[in-house]
Structure 1
Amino acid sequence: MNEIRQNHHMKAAQPNRKLILWLAAIVLLFLFGVILVQTGHWTRSSELDHINTKAGDSLNVYTGDLQIELDKFEALPYILSKNPLFLQLLVELHDTKKLDSVNRELERVNTLAETSAIYILDKTGHALATSNWNEKVSFIGEDLSFRPYFQQAIQGNPGRYFALGNTSHVRGYYFSAPMFNGPEIIGVLTVKVHLQRLEENWAKGSEKVVVTDPHGVIFISSYRPWQFRALVPLTTEAVQTLRNSMRYGDIYPDSIGTGQLSSDKNGLHFISLKTDAAPLVDGKTSSRTDRRYLIHSHNMPDAGWTVHVLSDISHVDGQVRNIVLLVAFLLVILFLSAALFYNKRRARLKQNEFEAHSRRALQEMNEQLEQRVHERTRELTLTNIHLTREVTERSRTENELRAAQEELIQAGKLAAIGQMATSITHEISQPLAAIRMFAENSLILLDEQRQEQVRMNLNDIADLVIKMSRITSHLKSFARKSRATLEPVDLEMAVGNVMVLLSMEMRKTGTVCHCTVAKETYVLADQVRLEQVLMNIFSNALDAVTNQPEKLIFISSEKHGDEVKLIVRDSGPGIAEEHIENIFEPFFTRKQQGKGLGLGLSLSRSIIKDFGGRITAENHAEQGAVFKFILKSCHLEEGAHK
């Protein structure tokens, strides 16, 4: 009865639980949306404030630079207007010699002051003298009475004006001052200043800087395509005024802006520029939508213009989007982490129940396993004892085999020396007989006081002793019983040592050896055992050519990558095809009884294998057998490591 009631309550609670979950999901989605919207607003506001602050600081710098540039030349026309030479020209208008002096002086001052031009106008506004008098474009004779700076100065006031040059078509800022002869104004002195240097410096910054006249026409710009274009669309009256004043010559400015000016609640001002007027961003083509800029402005009433800094805000939307996506990602991670924690907690409770049940089952299984392990351990212990005995026996057998192989190698060396005993005895007996003859001869020469002949005999005796010492040292080294150690071995030297021991036998049989082993060829081997292998192969080659009409042995070397190949070829009858595969087997020999046990080639292959190399045998296409040794190449400095 209680179970039925409990099931009834659980079924009734399921719809309520689903409703709560749906309501929680809706609330979470609403909170996510609010957080993301607020994040976007905050990010946009923060980034725009940063751009605005930076633009304000930059505007102060640009305005200061511009003001300093203007202040630098403001007093120049007033000072020059007091120059007696210039005043005298206006009094004596037809003095050509004085005109030439004035032109040259104006040219000198213009160069020193680094201005664009300096010129003098008479009362009618015609240029009498100018610093560019000797250039193709000269102001002399030009009627500039329509310029406001002339009209201001002719009335006794300092003049200021900026415009495009009527003759030179070069932009400039004009400073003018009246020239007095007593109380009478007799002319106007004008200084034209170019501002291109400021534009070049401004162009290096990240902001766009423009200077506009009262009508909004851009006179100075860090972005060249904006020059002489209006920041906002001009009214009909403004266009007519510009035409009448001829401030920009025959240029009639069009607008780069769409006319959309806006401000936000934080007091920031924005302007929209036409697509074709907006500069490219990072070299990429702009989209067809108008681009908005944050604009920061400062009015300069003395100069008659306004300085603007335009900051591109096209990247703000991308930053807002990235921040919103990041926050959304973090919120999702947070939500998933909470859900994961909840699921882990539920899973942990279920796991605890499962572990309690499993623990009891495991305890029963452990008891059974312990019994089985005990039985199996007893069996493995007996097996291990048996294996230990077998390993010990095998190790002992291997040591005995290794010792036997060492004895075989040593016996092979001694056998080779025994075979060469007659030749070596003859090699040593001849120098000994010569030494005896030289000694007896020297005694006679001493009695006759022939010291020089005695010295020559002693030198000959020393050479013969060196020759015998070389032979005995090779024999001693070859016969020494030593433990094999791998080290760099000079292959040419090893071949030469063996050839010394076999030289008498070769002369006796009339065998000619052609050796072309490369110099400074080092292989990884044990020198004594390598020479034993070479002795065995060379001796076999001598035996093979004994009954041949042409007795030749060829020894050469080749290097391929990290391997060195030593090739030994004879002019003997070669190896029977049916025996090639068996010649390296122990006790295999084709020699007569008593000439060998057939272990030489088997031991040679074993020794070469210990060096990490290999040996092969084949018949030459023309005549004779060919044995090839492939050994590892190395350098002298590898010896310590190996």
Structure 2
Amino acid sequence: MKQKNILILIGFFVLSALTASLHYWLKNAYQDQLINNQQIGVDTYRNALEAALARFDYLPHVLSQNNDLFELAFNQPELANKSLLAFKESSKVDAIYIMQRDGETIASSNWDQKDSFVGKNYGYRPYFKQALNQQKGQFFGVGATTNIPGYFVSAPYREKGNVKAVIVAKVLLSSIVDNWNTRTQDGETVFVADENNVIILTSKEDWLYNTLSPLNSEQNIAIKEQKQFGNNPLPLLDITSNPQKPHFIRIRQQQYIQSIASPNVMNWKIHYLIPSSQISEKLFAFWSRVIILLLLGLAAILIIRGINNRTALRRSQGESSALRKLNLTLEREIEERKQIEQKLRKAQVELRRTSKLAAMGQLSASITHEIGQPLAAMRTYIANLTMDQQQATESNFDPSRSISTLSKLDQLVNRLTTITQQLRYFARSGDKETLSVDLRKAINGAITTTQPSIEEAGIRLDVLKGKDPVMVQAGRVRLEQVIVNLLKNSMEAILETSTTGDAKNDQEWITLSLESTEKNAIIKIQDSGPGVSEEIRKELFEPFFTTKPSGVGMGLGLAISLNIIHELNGTLHVENRTTGGACFIITLPIQNSNDNEAIESLRDDRDNNDNE
């Protein structure tokens, strides 16, 4: 129960971490999406503002080319006023008026209104000074006469290359603000700040004429001289920003995401603000949908589980009788299986007993055959000795014959002793002590034993082994016994195929090689003999199997060798070489030992071993 609670706690923390990571990722994704959309929006507002102002930029320049209009303004201003009114109505501007070089207005489209510009001097306005300098004039300000803000654009009228008058068009920008108010939603704000960071257009009316940064003395003097904002105060807007998050600003305790664009108008800046709360609203909407889906899923699971439970209950009630019958049937089958298993165990015991008797019979027959011949010969020799004893009194008795008979009896006894010793191996095969053995030394010992007889038979013996120790867990004497048996087996196979009983040529050979891999040591004994037929290979390692004449061999050497290798967790098998001859292969596991001193000692003996 405690482990289950721990797993639940771990699962809760993992789920919380994944949820927090997803929330953080979604927040950044929504923020990036909002900033990208906002940049598109501010570009749209900038293009709309530029297009709206560009509609009127041409008007003063075109009218400045109309010499008749200015002749009327200088000589017949009443007619000029009417012409300006006609141009004003066709161009949809707020007013058009003409000023002479001293700044006094001599003709205006609103001459007949109480706030007429005629007779007023606006020489202090920047747009007038720019036109006198033969430049296009642009200016935003509050009307000195009407107190209505507008965008003023002017152009000089030239006569003989000199500026003689200035024509001005005033454009109201309230329609642009109305369009902003229509398009903005959810707390979005658009405003334009002039070159002095004074807000001159805004969708929030209470931000109008607020400054984004404090005005210096030069800016204050210029604004007052130009009467740009009339008597309107210019308070500092409560705004804070974070340099590490340039897109985020806080205005009057409200946090916004801001994008800024620069329209091609008098160094103005257009600002597009979106409340940062939209990110939280999107996150809330996302998690609300997730929770609703989870609740719906949970409700569906509960409904399905209830339906399944009711269905299972009805099914279980309907199948209860069938289950009881099935249980009774299974109980009978289990009882029958138990009886069959008891019979099977009895049959297996009987089969093992029969197999043992068969093996004992085979072994007894082999022993009877192998021991019977020496015993029969011994009876013959004993009978001969009895006859010799009876003839001992005769003059023609030959003692040497009795000595020869006794010698033959001794040989037969030795043969019987050898048979019993080899048979004893099978009864005591599991109690052999093993030590750390260098296979190179075991090979050297076996070669020392067999090399004289091999060379005497005229067979070339080649030994291939490395310089490094190859360590296995075994008994050295038993390993030497295996290698000696295999070497003698190869020698006898070669000699059996020789017509003279020896091999006095270089064509007959035996090769003993030692190789090692990461896990195993491999000994190969190859010869140039006749090889091993498929029929013989099946029984080659069986006890008492031999291809030699009776009395020459018992057929236990390869069987004993195989058992020794198996006890050492190795393998022994024979293959035929493709070019003729047999190849016996021994595979033994390499010893896994950290006994560095023993390894170093073996390496110290390397030179001596190589010379053996």
Give the TM-score of the pair, scaled to structure 2.
Answer: 0.46
Give the TM-score of the pair, scaled to structure 1.
Answer: 0.44
